[in-house]
Structure 1
Amino acid sequence: MSAEGLPEIESVQNSEEINAIYFEWTPELVRLATSRCQIHPFWGPLTPAQEWPYYIYPSHVAFPDPADTHECLKWVGLSDEKIIQVESRFNEIYPDFQGPSCGYEEKFSSRGVNSVILPVLEKMVQEHYSMLDHLTSECEYTHEGYIKNGIQQGLSPEFAVFCGMHKDDPRCVDDPSLFEKDWFDTSVPEIITYFTTSFWHLLREFLTCKLINEGKAWSGDHGQWLIHEGENLIESKARVAGLDLKQLCERAFKEEKERGNRETRERDRQIDLEVAEAGG
């Protein structure tokens, strides 16, 4: 944002809908906002680690069941109302999608790494991104305006605070222009996408850790593996040791190519649906 553009930006007003949103800084919200996304509202401070999952797993936290998409989406940052909209949108676009009843499965990638995935939840998170309003939502270029717009776009308040800054944020002290104007070089949807993506990836890894703690999976040199029905840990590791990893990589490459083509068709269908809705 250039200095010349600042007066025009300041002239933008909150919409009536945003003005109607109540927001007030509390000590806890200040603590979250000034953490630079290093404190998650539900599982607390994030401590980096050198090995997977690259953050220390907070074993004291009661993580949701991977099959409980509503609860999991709350941990990504969505409000109850927004989650209902996302779930409805998902069912509309993928009426025949069949995910695992437990919520998770495993996938071997062409990079030679196995991982635990949550296919239904993954698609719902993507739907959330596609539903962000990049064009018509207007708000003041103030930190409160950005936070209220985050709430309007479907975040719960404790996550929406990451859309703006508090005046006591150390970054503001070090760089006053960041608080005054530079923060607004990035749109609210872009900020939402950035930090919810980080929290989503971390939630996925922590849910995998939860499965490992429950004796349902394990982590090794080639990623994280599920213990199949009827196996114990030793038998599962022996099965994986006997796999032809080169063959798995080749198969994964072919599947990834097919998946990419399928997702392109799905995106085209979604665009057609959005165009039809706009025309209606």
Structure 2
Amino acid sequence: MTIATELPASDPSSTTSIPGAPPAEAPITMLNPDFPFSYDHYLAHPEGLGSVPPELYGTEVAVVGAGLSGLVTAYELMKLGLRPVMYEADQIGGRLRTANFPSAPGVVADLGGMRFPVSGKAFYHYVDLLGLQTQDFPNPLAPVTSSTVIELAGEKHYANTTADLPPFFREVADAWKAAVNDGAQFAGMQQAIRARDTARIKELWNELLPRLDEQTFYGFIAGSESFKEAGFAHREAFGQVGFGTGGWDTDFPNSILEILRVVYTDADDQHRLIAGG
């Protein structure tokens, strides 16, 4: 398993900072470069999200869909004094609904969303509000994962940590890191995200857009100097084994901008699960 960022030691009690990060280091947040708005600050504002005139208290407001977005919307409307009326065609919970199995009482499974990056501060605002317990998600080679097996081209590699893998996989990881740093200002963008410097985020992103707007994920890595020097085997392994949570070759036809939106914000790293589903 190659990774987009180094896997730090994890602090199970932390949902507000990067696990294992030095206290003085600001965390990566979900400041999407297209619209870098600090939703966590907005949600935490002591004045709330807004207000309505008292004469409108109790006004019915239709909310279509009882998934996560609909439920959050209804909750916030109630806080404003309005009366949300929810319309749902199937079941409450949407893609985050935890499934139960009649043949296996007590067993639950998350068939949709199952792991949530700590950079998603707005999500964890509601997790904390509800008093939900979270745990580290056992991604490949994560600190809480007892072991990881990688089988590639008929060869199996058993590892407890990245140090147990052959140098080849570190070379693949290094090639990826060099590619996003050289071709997409990865370190600079993450520094701006940590600082919540929206002007700098937009400056970097707006410079990349015209250059990468029509570039595929595969075209980006294939054209990078680091992967050219590493060779085809490294590029192939990158697609099959991947980084963070697994291989990404199915995303090779997608725009590299979609991938950057994920890796800039650590959306594919440092995941936690909701205890009990």
TM-score, normalised by the number of residues in structure 2: 0.21
Bigger fraction of residues in helix? 1
Q: Which has the higher contact order (CA 8 A, sep 6+)?
A: 2
TM-score, scaled relative to structure 1: 0.21
Identify, as 1 or 2, the structure richer in strand. 2
